Structure 1
Amino acid sequence: MLIELVKVAKFPWSPWLAQIRTPFGGTAVRWCGDQAAEPGEYHVEWTVDEDIAWGRNAKPAADSGPGVRPGGHCVVLRGQLNLTVDGAAVLDLDGTQILLDLAAPLPEGVAGTWVELFLEREKIALYPFQL
């Protein structure tokens, strides 16, 4: 996914965080690239290092369409949730696939719907790459 990096910063209580913008929102998440990265556009891969538990950190989205926004001490990702053949889940965030680990099977009928994930910003990482 192509994102706009606004800045990279480090606070004493957190890992390196990137303030980012996308066409559908912005937030701050863990940055796994060059700590001296200049503002600008970067292609990134998203990873989520937190198990998804329906009703705890995942719920139906009130709106359809992708979204990224801050939510207090967490980040809210809105996308379409799909299942893989091996029982994992994938969040489709505007065409970018983010692999998710499930704490328990999803309720019936959730696959293919728009959902919101509420995740600690340190548990979402961006890995920049060159095309």
Structure 2
Amino acid sequence: MQIEVVDISPGRPHPIARFVSRIGQAAVPWCGNPDAPPGKYYIEWTIEPDLVWGVNTTPADEPGPAIRTDGDHVILRGRLDVRAATLQVDDALILIGGDHTLPREADGTWIQIRVPVGDAHLYPYQI
């Protein structure tokens, strides 16, 4: 996924990157160079907590990929692949953990995950 980092501010244990993308904006921990300048980056996401249906994972209110923050949480909306344990958010595939409560009926549907900002991380990479 390509994002545009607006700024990177100090944070513990990782700095916080404020970014925009074609599907939304957020500010989450940045696991790249803390002195990286603003600009466009390709990133991969990691989500730390297990996803539990009805707790931090629910059916999406509407279809389509999205990224946004809600207070101290980040919300990612994407299409679920239960068998591959991935969430497709725009052109990014995010590997997801879970306690295996994600219902098979949700496979291929639009869902949203809501996790604390500190539990979603961005890892930049070069193509």
- RMSD across aligned C-alpha pairs, in angstroms? 1.3
Within 2, Cα distance between the matches of 1:59 and 1:18? 26
Cα shift at 1:8: 0.5
Q: Which runs of 5+ in 1 are unaligned?
A: none
Q: Distance in 2 between matches of 1:123 and 1:109?
A: 26
Equivalent position amino acid for 1:8 in 2: I
Q: Please list every run of at least 4 consecutive aligned residues from structure 1 whose deviation after the TM superposition is greater than 4 angstroms.
A: none
CA separation of 1:112 and 1:93: change in aligned 2, threshold 3 A = same
Residue among 108, 112, 117 paired with 1:116 = 112
**Helix, strand or coil at the partner of 2:61:** coil
- Equivalent in the alignment of 2:7: 7
1: CA distance, partners of 2:61 / 2:22: 19
TM-score after normalising by structure 1: 0.91
Gaps of 5+ in 2: none
Name 1:125's counterpart in structure 2.
Answer: 121
Q: Distance in 1 between matches of 2:44 and 2:91?
A: 12
1:14, CA displacement in angstroms?
6.0
1:81 corresponding residue in structure 2: 80
Between the aligned partners of 2:103 and 2:39, the Cα distance in structure 1 is 40
TM-score scaled by structure 2? 0.94
Quote the Cα distance in structure 2 between the aligned partners of 1:55 and 1:66. 19
8 Å contact kept, 1:14–1:122: no
The 5 Å alignment of 1:18-57 reads 18-57=17-56
Report deviation, 1:4: 0.4
Identity, % of aligned positions:
37
